[in-house]
Amino acid sequence: MHACICPKFEKTFSILGKKWSGLIIEVLLTGDHRFKEIAEEIPGVSDRVLVERLKELEDEDIVIRKELADGPIRILYGLTEKGKNLEPAMIEIQRWSNQWITI
């Protein structure tokens, strides 16, 4: 008999399991960042894919896009409360990877 995977658990991994999503969240856990800053923190991600992932995470209410109009318009990306609540899980994933993953 196979265990049935919870639909919410499956949905969570469909969001967080996409390439670059976890790294974007990890960067934003340190605070709000401009697009260029996020791209610089994640070597290898293309601008096109970064735009897609940020939009997907925004659609899931994990990332918020903020327009600052104090002079030239600047866009900052940050985490919503929902996104910030991922921090304990991200810490545990980092702990697990430090113990078990070799590169």
CA distance 74 to 68: 5
| 6 φ/ψ sector (left φ>0, alpha ψ -120 to 50, else beta) | beta
DSSP structure string for 11-69: HHHHHHTSTTHHHHHHHHTT--B-HHHHHHHSTT--HHHHHHHHHHHHHTTSEEEEEE-
For the chain, percent of residues with pLDDT exceeding 90? 85
**For the chain, what are the domain ranges?**
7-100
Give per-residue pLDDT as tens, 85-102. Answer: 999 999 999 999 999 999
The model's pTM:
0.90
CA distance 59 to 54: 9
Phi/psi of residue 29, nearest 5 degrees: -65, -20
- The CATH number of 7-100 is 1.10.10.10
